[in-house]
Amino acid sequence: MNVRHLTFRLLQVYVVVVRSGSVSEAARQLHLTQPTVSQQLKRLSEAVGEPLLHMRRGRLLPTEAGRELYRASREVLGRFDDYRDYLEALRGGERGRFSIALVNTAQYVLPRLLGPYSQAFPDVDVTLHIGNRRQMLTRFERQDDDLYVFSHPPSLVHALAGRFLRNPLVVVAPQGHPLAKREAIAMNELLGERFLLREPGSATRMMFESWLQEHGLSLGPTLQMASNEAIRVGVAAGMGLAVLSEHVLPPEHPDIAILPVTDFPIESHWQFIVRRDRRLPHAAQGFLRFASGHLGECVQPRFLANELARLLADLDQ
C-alpha cells in the first residue's frame, strides 16, 4: 500500500459509498456522477493494493481489507474534524497561548484585567514577562512577545499602539511631612529633600528625569532602589520623597501623602503595543477584545482611558 497517493477526499468518498452500499447513491449524495465515484474507488483500491468492495445480492459490501479501511477512514476523518474544531476555537480566541511583556509598574494593575479574562477563557495560556523599561525594550526588539505594555512606547514603525489606562505619576511624602498640608508646592521647594529613585532604565525614573529637564531643575541627594515596593515602604518610613505611579499606592495609604506639586501629576498612559511584523495569536487578539469590552468593570473610573477599539480596528486591516 502506498500511503503517498491517499487523499482525504478519496476517503470521504469511500466512506459515503460504504455507508450507502451503492456507488450511484453515493454519487447522488456527493453531487458527483456515478462514473466519477467508480473511478475514485478504483484509484483508492489501487493505492491500497487490495479489492475493497464486492457485489453481494445487489449491494456493495466491503471486503475484509475494505472493512478495516472504512474503520481507519472514519477515525482519520474524525480526527481532522476534531482538528477543525480546535482551529475554530483557536480562531475565536477561546484557546491557545500568548505572552505579554510588562514594565514593572504595570504589574500592579494588569492582574485586574487578566483575572477576569482567565476566568472567561480558561483554555488560554498567558505568559507574563515583567521587568523594567530597558529590559522590555530588549524583548520588544527581539520580538519575544505578543503584546507589550509601555507608557512611552518605542518607535511605532513596526507596531500599533492603543492606550487603555491613565498612569499619573505623583510626588509622595511620608504622612505628616511638613509640606503635606500646603495647597500648592513648587518642585524647587523640594529639591533639598532626598529623593528615592528607581534604577536607570526604569520608565518612572525616565519620565521624572525628563520632566525635571524640561523644567530646568535638577535633584539634590538621591537614593536608588530597584523596586516600587521598596520605594513606597522607604517613603513611608521617612527615608525621603519619591515620584511614583499612583497605581503603586494601595487604595488606602495612611502612612503616605501625595504632595500637591505644581505641574503634577505627570500624565502618561499605559498602552498595549502590538508588533505588525509578527502574527498576533488569535488568543492575544481575543484578550484585547476582552480588555476593550471589560476594562470599565476592572479598574477605577478615574484611570479609564480606553482606546482599544481603535487598536482592534487597526489590527483588522
Q: Which of 8, 59, 120, 300 binds a copy of itself (CB under 8 A)?
A: 8
Kindly state the smallest distance separating residue 275's Cβ from DNA, in Å: 12
Shortest reach from residue 49's CB to a copy of itself, in Å:
7
H helices of 143-227, in order, are: 203-214
Q: Decide if 96 contacts 282 (C-beta within 8 A).
A: yes
What is d(CA 103, CA 154) in angstroms, rounded to the nearest whole number?
Answer: 13
Give the residue with the Cβ less far from DNA, 55 or 184. Answer: 55
What one-character-per-residue DSSP string does 35-100 give? HHHHHHHHHHHHHHTS--EEEETTEEEE-HHHHHHHHHHHHHHHHHHHHHHHHHHHHTTSSEEEEE
Which residues, 6 or more positions from 54, have their beta carbon under 8 angstroms from its beta carbon?
60, 61, 63
Cell of 311: 487598536
Regarding 67 and contact with DNA (CB under 7 A), the answer is no
Nearer to DNA, 32 or 219 (CB): 32
Closer CB to DNA, 24 or 222, in the complex: 24
Site track 1-20 with DNA (rule: CB under 7 A), x = hit: ----x-x-xx----------
Q: If contact means CB under 5 to 8 A according to the sort of partner, which of a copy of itself, DNA, none does residue 83 touch? A: a copy of itself
Contact of residue 41 among a copy of itself, DNA, none (CB under 5-8 Å per partner type): DNA
In angstroms, rounded to a whole number, what is the distance separating the alpha carbons of residues 106 and 270?
Answer: 8
149 neighbors 101 (Cβ within 8 angstroms): yes
Closest distance between DNA and the C-beta of residue 144, in Å? 12
Residue 23, interface with DNA (CB under 7 A)? yes
The amino acid at 273 = I
Nearer to a copy of itself, 74 or 294 (CB): 74
Annotate each residue in 34-63 with x if it binds DNA (CB under 7 A) or - if it does not, as one string.
xxx-xxxxxx---------x-x-xx-x---
- Least Cβ distance, residue 132 to DNA (angstroms): 24
What, of DNA, a copy of itself, none, does residue 96 touch, CB below 5 to 8 Å by kind? a copy of itself
CB 225, CB 243: distance < 8 Å: no
**Cell for 12?**
470521504
Task: Show Cβ contacts of residue 273 under 8 Å, excluding neighbours closer than 6 positions.
Answer: 140, 147, 148, 149, 150, 153, 154, 156, 159, 160, 161
The 199-218 site mask, x for binding DNA (CB under 7 A), equals --------------------
Q: Which amino acid is at 135?
A: Q
Our finding on whether 79 is near a copy of itself (CB under 8 A) is: yes
Q: Are strands 59-62 and 222-224 parallel, antiparallel or unpaired?
A: unpaired
38 vs 135 by CB, closer to DNA: 38
**Chain contacts with a copy of itself (rule: CB under 8 A):** 1, 3-9, 12, 48-51, 54, 63-65, 68-69, 72, 75-77, 79-80, 82-84, 86-87, 90-91, 95-97, 279, 281, 283
Residues making contact with DNA (CB under 7 A): 5, 7, 9-10, 22-25, 31-36, 38-43, 53, 55, 57-58, 60
